[in-house]
Structure 1
């Protein structure tokens, strides 16, 4: 029987201490590893963590993908699936079990597919198929949209729902194809080329959507094939690519005229927002009505002001003023004449009395001559006053004639009125088809605005 070493408290380890030292040893040596194998015993509890076993023909390894890392992985793990896992080896101390704490999961063979993806991307980029100046503008108001996608997937339902909600007047022509698996890439390319040829069985296509829902790199690989990229690049119709989810990128995305992260987003971009446009039009209508109402009020005030000014300058008003002035002058003349005659009568009476007092015939003859002279002057005063008044009246009548519209018309001008009889001062006041009346110096005629 072998002799046992004497034990002390210093060299005895607890289970926890041993497990912790093993953990520290493993974590220090086995970190940042890629492990591949087959998935089994997959469990997904409510916590969001994923527990599974990775195995091959000779061994198995417990793995855990915590919720924080799982939300960044696009691969849907399933039992029997061949995958590659990147992570660190650790020890689950409560069970004394070593395990792989996964950080990233990808299908087996992902590296080869990624290499192929990058090679084709570089090739097409060198050919200039990704250049911005090749991108065709997407029509803002399409009449008909063609959709190349699976007839049974969620993508086609999402696209049709978006079109019905935003722009129900847009026609959607669905061209059903396989979107994954053997032969899918050829079907997709043939559908794109058939639509590009403009067959008689289709209406004029304004926009082409190439779409499918999300999935793994293998699921989306049909949209990374060169045959699909060439068909999209040669398509004369603007192409929108809506393949996968936000984090998925395909060769089809780079070649298309527009890339959207999801099928629904592609449909959103392809058709206008009908309800939003209607709201904008209603707002514009209200603004336009307010502006027109304001302009009409302003024009009405301007027209009333012009009408009052026209009345103030009308010949009838001037004639009436002149006649009133003439009546006033006549009254003044009559009053002046009466006063003058009264004065002369008084003077003659005084003179007669003086003659009667003096009585010499010579004085009588002299006074008679003076009297005749005064009587002549007296007779000329009313004539001079009437002549002056006539000259003033004639001047006023000439001024009235100058303001008379008929005098203006006689010089080659004309006046045009709308159907309500209002004078037109601007060509903006009439529209095509309005009837107008034109007045000339010797008549008038009606016409229709062309």
Structure 2
């Protein structure tokens, strides 16, 4: 039967992967008890076995790194209890338990109290990620709450000196084991939140049995960690040890040394990175300055000063004036020679009266021509003066002499910004240059007003 159009067809790999994701999300960590069978340890050092009870059997593995921390030797037929995460091996489609911690069954009331308190606080939402505070990248100081003589404080101090010696550590010594330990730890957390001389807290102690770590499995300590306004890193025990404080803390580190490593960045690496960024920034600034200087030089080469423009027009006007004078002079000389020729031609054929009349006509023409010439010359001079006045009006120096100014923005404190035509192109604290008739001013914008506020 063929699948319908709305039915999704899975591949074996896709279905297996989705089942794996569902199992691992639903059961990230769980406590389980059962009897060991088929226990074996191949050359890899990992231990493979089955865990069974009267109803079922399940495949299990504990890797070599976790097995080193076991305080007993697992054997077939032994009843054990442990913390494991459920996983699915995709190539065979079989699921198995991967153990992080294991102990012989029968740890007693402490384990039951641990599980009951864990369930209670989880139901109250104390473990929710919504309550987790962000760990500062570079804390101003760290409150270290641990035993003043234990190995944990020495490890933390050693790691801090190696990674970031500039961050101060404030050690608050407390008992980490015994009847009063939980109250001392809780009081130390409250004290750190009262003085607030640091912005990060590390609570730590070395590894041990469930009884040794019990102070960190109490509601007293859990409440102090939950109510702390300062972020808390829990570095209690070894990697396989889990306490209530680990679940409530903003961050859980597997060991005290790891807590210090997570709390402090590598100062040498940061300094190296900063120098690298500084060199890169300097290079980019130099490149930017070089490009701007080249741009300014190009503009200077292309920009023609108003004085040079006026001089060019003046030279052109003088040339035109010279050509006009030359043309008029040549025309007058031509007319004079023509008149003389006509006078000589007519002197032998016309009566004297007509000659006198023609002379008078010639004089009238000459007077009219002189009048027209000087009128035309005056018109040319007036046009020249008018164009000179227009050029002088267009000269920016003339505008500045009348009390106006030119405002330009300053880019990064250097001349080269745009001429300000619109107040909306500037913002508060922008630097500007005001060019006056005599000198210039550097100023800073206090407030801008748009056209509608004029």
Alignment of 1:320-339 (within 5 A): 320-339=311-330
Separation in structure 2 between the aligned mates of residue 408 and residue 319 of structure 1, nearest angstrom = 15
Alignment of 1:127-276 (within 5 A): 127-198=124-195, 204-276=197-269
Which position in structure 2 is the counterpart of 1:407? 398
The alpha carbon displacement at 1:211 in A equals 0.9
Separation in structure 2 between the aligned mates of residue 399 and residue 257 of structure 1, nearest angstrom = 78
Alignment deviations for residues 175-214 of structure 1 (CA, whole Å, 9 cap, x no partner): 223333554434433433343443xxxx713111111223
Larger of the two Rg values belongs to structure: 1
The alpha carbon displacement at 1:393 in A equals 0.9
- Assess, with a 3 A threshold, how the Cα gap between structure 1 residues 180 and 86 changes in structure 2: closer, same or farther: farther
Q: What runs of 5+ residues in structure 2 fail to find an aligned partner?
A: 1-33, 37-43, 47-61, 79-98, 446-454
- Assess, with a 3 A threshold, how the Cα gap between structure 1 residues 435 and 242 changes in structure 2: closer, same or farther: same
Alignment deviations for residues 307-353 of structure 1 (CA, whole Å, 9 cap, x no partner): 4455x241x22332233123312331332233223323332332232
User: 2:297 matched to 1:297?
Assistant: no
User: 2:381 matched to 1:386?
Assistant: no
Separation in structure 1 between the aligned mates of residue 391 and residue 416 of structure 2, nearest angstrom = 21
Separation in structure 1 between the aligned mates of residue 332 and residue 68 of structure 2, nearest angstrom = 129
Alignment deviations for residues 41-93 of structure 1 (CA, whole Å, 9 cap, x no partner): xxxxxx989xxxxxxxxxxxxxxxxx97795263335xxxxx9x65249xxxx
Q: What runs of 5+ residues in structure 1 fail to find an aligned partner?
A: 1-31, 35-46, 50-66, 78-82, 90-102
Separation in structure 1 between the aligned mates of residue 65 and residue 298 of structure 2, nearest angstrom = 80
Which position in structure 2 is the counterpart of 1:87? 76
Which position in structure 1 is the counterpart of 2:276? 283
The alpha carbon displacement at 1:243 in A equals 1.2
> What is the root-mean-square deviation of aligned Cα atoms in Å?
4.1
Separation in structure 2 between the aligned mates of residue 112 and residue 281 of structure 1, nearest angstrom = 54
Match of 2:113 among 112, 116, 138: 116
The alpha carbon displacement at 1:400 in A equals 0.8
Task: List structure 1 segments (4+ residues) > 4 angstroms apart after TM superposition.
Answer: 67-71, 420-429, 431-438, 443-450
Give the number of equivalent residue pairs.
365
Which position in structure 1 is the counterpart of 2:71? 76
The alpha carbon displacement at 1:448 in A equals 6.0
- Range that drifts further, 322-331 or 261-270: 322-331
Scaled by the length of structure 1, the TM-score of the pair is 0.68
SS for the counterpart of 1:76 is coil
Separation in structure 2 between the aligned mates of residue 327 and residue 69 of structure 1, nearest angstrom = 103
Separation in structure 1 between the aligned mates of residue 173 and residue 150 of structure 2, nearest angstrom = 10
- Assess, with a 3 A threshold, how the Cα gap between structure 1 residues 300 and 345 changes in structure 2: closer, same or farther: same
